[in-house]
Structure 1
Amino acid sequence: MSTLTLSSVVAGCKEATALRVEVLKRSVPVQMVSKFRQQSGQKGVDFVPQPQLNDLFRVLQKSKSSSSTQSSPQADLVMIGDFWLNSAIQQQLIQPLDPKLWSQWSQLPPRWQNIVRRNSAGKFDSKGEIWAAPYRSGSTVIIYRVDKFKSLGWTPQDWSDLWRQELRHRISLPNQAREVIGLTLKKLGYSYNTADLSKVKNLESELRQLHQNVRLYDSNSYLKPLILGDTWLAVGWSTDISPEVQYQNGLAAVVPKSGTALWLDLWVKPAKVQASPPATLGDQWIDFCWSPQVAAQLSLLTGTTSPIILGMNPEELPQSLRENPLLFPQSSILEKSDFLQPLSQNSIKQYQQLWEKIRLGT
């Protein structure tokens, strides 16, 4: 884990800061930082880790509200989750970026370019500006006990398997309405981002049936009961289940064939930072992250997917990467998968009311 810790990189740095980047803890391998410093010739590159993504969003808000007499250094780049991009644009916390400053931009698959192309209201717009740079992504996956399913004679492949009778009281699901209702929507052929749940036939009855198979709802400690055998199957996140964790505990993981929920970490530039052009050290860092060798290293060291590798020839990737279905998912599955988009207040109310109704059994 020391390879994923940045405290030693930041602590005691006496060089004048040429680039300050606020990041999620353990999201940027030290090897990448060292290589970038060497390549750029800049030692004063500080990566400041924050515990959670919502802490990073607050960094942006604080940056906007701070006075000209700043008591703390201002970030040149901040990492945020794609779910926050809409709000960051609406609240004018960030500024548009110039992809012409990035030599690797054209190598990003179109879908990963389009997700950061928005209008000034934060909505998707094919003619909009580029507001962020994709860094890494992950997905919601099914994790299961190999021994238990060997005795059953089948292995989970898709969301519909969670409804099978032999899994009664044997599964755990995230304690999140969007994830649980979303995977049920996916089973029924709908998007995770369905706005009007009242138009989805049989949704409530499907959720009630699924609820009968649930032993617990847990978004954080769901692996422990799975390892102990209290549950046989869990829905969780690809970042939690490395090949080492799978091997050591007799677990396996699969990305559902009908598609899943995707998340994406992004680089954004606070509104107060001097705008490009010319290319800044921050733009150089973004481009550096997309270089093929670095992208492959990032994916393996952080257990996430650099979007650059999705457009590469698999034969150019390390075998351990291209043969890992969580890090290098099938393109057919990715095409059916959804990035979670912000919902209207009315839609949020629908999700929450249905969620409470199912959980309380009313």
Structure 2
Amino acid sequence: MQADPRPLSCSMSRRRLLQLSALAGLGLVGGCGRNSAVQLVYGRGELPAAWAKRLPDPWRAMPVDGPAAVLSAHAAALVQLGDGWLDAREATDWQPFVSAGSPAAAELWEGLAPEAQPLSRLFRPEPAAPLAYPWAFGTWLLVLRNRRDLVARAAEGWSLLLDPSLRGELLLPSSPRLVIDLALRQLGLPPGDRASLGDLRLGDQLSRLRRQAAAFDDRDGLNLLLSGRVEAAVLPSQRVLPLLRSDTRLTALLPASGSALWWNLLLRPAQTREVPPLRWLLQAREMPLLNRLLAAGWVPPLRRELLAAALSSWPPAVAALLYPQPAVLARCTSLPPLAEDQRRQLQSLWDRSGS
């Protein structure tokens, strides 16, 4: 998963990072013999190799180091981004993913789960045209290492993060917005309701949660967990699920209250004339490639019945982490880009909780 820069000033601002990348002059012009290649530019590790290798000519998958570099790749005909980077650009920087009303459009959008529809419009209201193709999604999981005592208390949900034994043994996401989301769920408050941020209990709850953390690091969190430097971490499902069958030290929990959702998207820059490779996009929904994607933790956001056969080959507990049960998925929420006043409100809450 890409590092999620969900706002707040805990690190360099995203727009400043993009400016610096632009100054670096990244162009991604094809090399000798590849000047005619059509580029799909993606963050390294953010597009499954088994899928990328199937791109038809003249398409080429071009890995770069991170989302800022993706956004600076001016030669790209398609780009891959996580949803946390959507507000780094305006909607006018993208064009409709496929032409409205065409047979290609009907085929591409057929089968997408309802949760994926707002992402395809970049959260613009209907009847806005789809600007993005959501090709993978998942949840954030509580991952425990050799803590069967806490696994036995799984019904406590996200409140397990406050267990005294995890003080200094817990890794939380690097995004303040995601940590605030966890605090809201601990209080039973709906994260998607702006009124929840005004709850008088939230500041203290967030402070308690932050004091538990050894660090805020989801990029290297799995390595720290595997090495035994911490005993628990909140991590995106894609990084965790491939290990659950082979590493018996790890247990992953998705509380009944759900989690924030992460999304992986493909977008079509406004300046390109290239049409996305439709047949290639649809292959990710079909066997045997679909099984390989699921094994790597990449779950296409399709309607449940369309994934039922593929999920049936997994142990039920793991299948429920790949594609949550309906009641749990209904409590999971996507995180749309923030308006400026919302950003200030969250920043103020975060700053106060750390004092």
TM-score, reference length from structure 2: 0.78
Are 2:43 and 1:49 equivalent residues in the alignment? Answer: no
Cα shift at 1:31: 3.1
* Corresponding residue for residue 249 of structure 2: 250
Gaps of 5+ in 2: 1-28
Contact 1:239 1:304 survives alignment (8 Å): yes
Runs of 4+ aligned residues of structure 1 deviating over 6 Å after TM superposition are 10-13
- Report the counterpart of residue 110 of structure 1 in structure 2: 114
2:59 is aligned with what amino acid? V
Alpha-carbon RMSD: 3.1
Q: Tell me how far 1:265 sits from its aligned partner.
A: 1.4
1:222–1:85 distance in 2 versus 1, CA, 3 Å = closer
Which residue matches 1:199? 198
With over 3 angstroms needed to count, the CA separation of the structure-2 counterparts of 1:11 and 1:202, relative to structure 1, is same
1:87-236 alignment runs, 5 A limit: 87-90=88-91, 92-97=92-97, 98=99, 100=102, 101-102=104-105, 103-117=107-121, 123-145=123-145, 147-150=146-149, 153-155=152-154, 158-195=157-194, 199-236=198-235
1:25 aligned residue (44, 49, 53): 44
Report % sequence identity.
Answer: 24
Shift of the alpha carbon at 1:126? 2.2
Match of 2:295 in 1: 300
- Calculate the TM-score normalised by the size of structure 1: 0.76
Equivalent residue pairs, number: 322
Asked whether the equivalents of residues 185 and 192 of structure 1 are also in contact (C-alpha less than 8 Å), the reply is yes
Structure 1: distance between partners of 2:304 and 2:36: 34
Residue 17 of structure 2 is matched in structure 1 by none
8 Å CA contact retained: 1:185, 1:203: yes
Structure 2 match to 1:356: 351
Residues 289-346 of structure 1, C-alpha deviations (whole Å, 9 max, x = no match): 3445433432323x22111364415134461387433322222222211111122223
**SS state at 1:27 partner:** coil
How far has the Cα of 1:211 moved from its partner? 3.6
Distance 2:236 2:83 in 1: 16
Which stretch of structure 1 is more off in the superposition, 255-264 or 284-293? Answer: 284-293
SS class of match (1:319):
coil
Structure 1 stretches lacking a partner, 5+ long: 1-9, 64-73
1:214, 1:347 → 2: CA distance? 25
Matched-pair contact (CA < 8 Å) for 2:119–2:132: no
The secondary structure found in structure 2 opposite 1:315 is helix
Larger of the two Rg values belongs to structure: 1
Q: Decide whether aligned partners of structure 1 residues 290 and 201 sit closer, same or farther in structure 2, where only a CA change above 3 A counts.
A: same
